[in-house]
Amino acid sequence: MKINLANIKKAKKLLNKSECIAIPTETVYGLAGNAYSNSACKKIFKLKKRPKNNPLIVHYFSEKVLKRDCIYNYDFLKLYKKFCPGPITFILDLKKSSKISKIATNKKNSLAVRFPKHPITRNLLKKLDFPLAAPSANLSSKVSAVSSKDVVEDFGGKIKFVLEGGKSSIGIESTIIDLRNKPKILRLGGLEISTIQKVLKKKIRINNNSSKISFPGQSRLHYSPGIPVRLNVKKVKNEEAYVLIKKKKKIKSNYFFLTKNGNLKIAAKNLYSTLRKIKKKKYKSIAVCKIPNKGLGRTINDRLLRAAKF
């Protein structure tokens, strides 16, 4: 992808003034601000209508820069070397000397950190003197944005600048792993658990006990397209939009296909844009076929289950 340096310059200028902008990442677009600045972090919460007790994820250029703010172990280094930059977020302990805004962390002593792979955002991060707090660039509890158009749809002119980066190549949020004690997955995401397991060579726990939710972002009512969603549907009603994993021979106008051939990575990439498309066509409800619960299919099912709680 060609990098427009004038755009990067503009982004840098705004971020230096503690303004918020949208940035592209390979997972989803982020609503970014200086993670060391209280005023920038306050703006992010306000724009997203995000509850104050839901801390912000922070984006770094490299592990070398992260050293200023976080303490980490050998498990982190193994995963970092293998998967970063990429779609994995680590929960780590904050250093006492860290300059991360207390607004961003909600005064907790842990931090969610990620190293995005998108070349435009990497170029920007390299040029900044601070890391970027950047939760997904959508209104709180709604479907994430995978293009600059999606961001503008949610925020209109309220965001000063959207750094254009095309459609997100993964299209679903990062996998979150808590590495402070025994590795534990807090959110399924764009990186498959089996690949993480192969590198760590130890058992990884998955936090799927929804009664013990510690952060709203892992709560049930999330990723909602704003209309009811039914799952594992074989018989669709005429007035419903029907989401299918792969193309069928018999096509009806209310059918929406995630892929041509059923590839789960492609299905994950197209999930949010398909839900947004359906909403725009003014359907009042969505029915989804059964999605295989393996690989990225697990992440898709996780998001759909939450969307169905609407």
* Residues within the interface to Mg ion (CB under 5 A): 136
185 contributes a contact to ligand TXA by CB under 6 A: no
Return the residue matching tokens 């013990």. 212
Please, which residue, 136 or 254, has the CB nearer to Mg ion?
Answer: 136
C-beta of 167: minimal distance to Mg ion in Å?
A: 18
Asked if 291 and 297 count as a contact pair (C-beta separation under 8 A), the reply is yes
Instruction: Please tell me the distance from the alpha carbon of residue 277 to that of residue 189, in angstroms, as a whole number.
Output: 22
Tell me: does residue 186 bind ligand TXA (CB under 6 A). Answer: yes
CB of 54 to ligand TXA, least distance (A): 5
Nearer Cβ to ligand TXA (184/246): 184
Token pair listed for 47: 């724009």
174 binds ligand TXA per the rule CB under 6 A: yes
Give the tokens for residue 198: 């192969």
**Number of residues this chain uses to bind ligand TXA (CB under 6 A):** 25
Q: Work out whether 264 is an interface residue with ligand TXA (CB under 6 A).
A: no
Choose which of 14, 24, 41, 55 interacts with ligand TXA (CB under 6 A).
55
Does residue 113 interact with ligand TXA by CB under 6 A? Answer: no
Other beta carbons within 10 Å of 179: 18
Closest contact distance (angstroms) between CB of 71 and Mg ion is 26
Stretch near ligand TXA under the rule CB under 6 A, chosen from 64-72, 196-204, 215-223, 294-302: 215-223
Span of 6-14, 49-57, 72-80, 228-236 interacting with ligand TXA by CB under 6 A: 49-57
Query: Which one of ligand TXA, Mg ion, none interacts with residue 303, CB within 5 to 8 A by kind?
Result: none
C-alpha 237: how far from chain center: 32
Using CB under 6 A as the binding rule, whether residue 114 contacts ligand TXA is answered as yes
Of 254 and 299, which CB lies nearer to ligand TXA in the complex structure? 299
Reduce the DSSP state of residue 92 to 3 states and report it. strand
Residues 99, 128 contacting (CB under 8 angstroms)? no
Task: Indicate whether 133 belongs to the interface with ligand TXA (CB under 6 A).
Answer: no
Q: Which is nearer to ligand TXA, 25 or 274 (CB)?
A: 25
Nearest-approach distance from CB 172 to Mg ion, in angstroms:
11
User: Minimum distance from CB of 210 to Mg ion (Å)?
Assistant: 17
Using CA atoms, how far apart are residues 83 and 136, in angstroms rounded to an integer?
A: 20
The order of strands in the sheet holding 241-246 is: 229-230, 286-288, 241-246, 255-259
Two tokens, residue 167: 């459609």
Residue 258 touches which of ligand TXA, Mg ion, none (Cβ within 5-8 Å per kind): none
The Cα 249–Cα 156 span in angstroms is 39
The answer to whether 165 and 148 are in contact (CB under 8 A) is yes
- Taking each helix axis from N to C end, the angle separating 74-83 and 193-200, rounded to the nearest 10 degrees, works out to 130
The CA distance from 45 to 67, in Å, is 26
Rule CB under 6 A: is residue 54 a binding residue for ligand TXA? yes
Which pair of structure tokens corresponds to residue 163? 């750094």
**Cα 53 from Cα 94, distance rounded (Å):** 17
Q: Which does 111 bind (CB under 5 to 8 A by kind): ligand TXA, Mg ion, none?
A: ligand TXA
* Residue 215 binds ligand TXA, judged by CB under 6 A: yes
Q: How far does Cα 285 stand from its chain's mean position?
A: 24
| Interface residues toward ligand TXA, by CB under 6 A | 25, 27-28, 30, 54-55, 57, 89, 91, 108, 110-112, 114, 116, 134-136, 173-174, 176, 186, 215, 217-218
